[in-house]
Homo-oligomer: A and B are copies of this chain.
């Protein structure tokens, strides 16, 4: 299972791969990214990731790396890596230029990719559930752009990890929940799912969308709207979704139990349904 890297047409080990110190991705966070995983030797939801990448690139006017050209490179990388359970990381930046804030439209972007073995979430956590904490939402207001401006996310995740939690959930000043530092957030109330609507407030998570679609297929009602931290604390169930996280129950929030402090039935059912969907390879 070779882990390897690709940087603008050059293949190497990950350790040997580097970018210029004048890369705008390094100096400004002027770039976007995707993390794509595989199940059983097949890239999962690749086209969904590429559509989101296109959205991110368009939102920051990053041109010169059309997804039609990037896609075969991703597939080649994944095939070279020979991973059954792998993770492709893809980052596109506005490329190398002497440092100044404004950019030259039409420059040559930097395309970086790696393939690595997937370090899956400890399977026991899906049964036991995880602790989460809430943190103030201090990030910029274009969370729909999957950019590498991730300092707010990092600092939140670090706070979670240092307090023994799996995730930090952002709450706006008016009490409305947005998302986790690397996940989307769902609550269950009286058998219905509730999650923040798509828009600038949150990242349009691929697993989030798949769970919404799966729930609707099963006749479970889904509301996409803002909900408050109080609604979250009083929820029947609370869970996180993400490419690496899949569907993961939260059993304590700020050290207070969610209901009985156990992973809820609907959370469990949706994880099973998600895995079934993976088995059927229904990822579009």
A contact residues vs B (CB 8 Å cutoff): 5, 7, 14-15, 17-23, 25-30, 33, 60-61, 89, 91, 98-99, 101-103, 112, 114, 116, 138-142, 145, 147-155, 157-158, 160-161, 181-182
| Number of identical monomers bound together in the oligomeric complex | 2
Residue on B nearest A16 in the bound complex, by CB: B20
Bound complex: CA of A28 vs CA of B19, how far in Å?
A: 14
> With contacts A26-B23, A157-B101 known, is A151 near B150, CB below 8 A?
no
Q: Which residues of B have CB within 8 Å of A160?
A: 102
Bound complex: CA of A133 vs CA of B209, how far in Å?
A: 38
> With contacts A18-B20, A21-B112 known, is A147 near B140, CB below 8 A?
no
B140 touches A138 (CB 8 A): yes
B154 touches A151 (CB 8 A): no
**Smallest CB–CB gap between A162 and chain B, Å?**
8
B21 touches A21 (CB 8 A): no
A28 touches B139 (CB 8 A): no
Can you pick out 30 interface pairs between chain A and chain B where the beta carbons lie within 8 Å of each other?
A5-B21, A15-B20, A18-B18, A19-B21, A19-B26, A21-B114, A25-B26, A26-B26, A26-B91, A27-B148, A28-B148, A28-B151, A29-B148, A29-B149, A29-B150, A30-B150, A60-B151, A98-B116, A101-B150, A101-B153, A101-B157, A102-B161, A103-B154, A138-B140, A140-B149, A140-B152, A145-B151, A147-B151, A149-B149, A149-B151
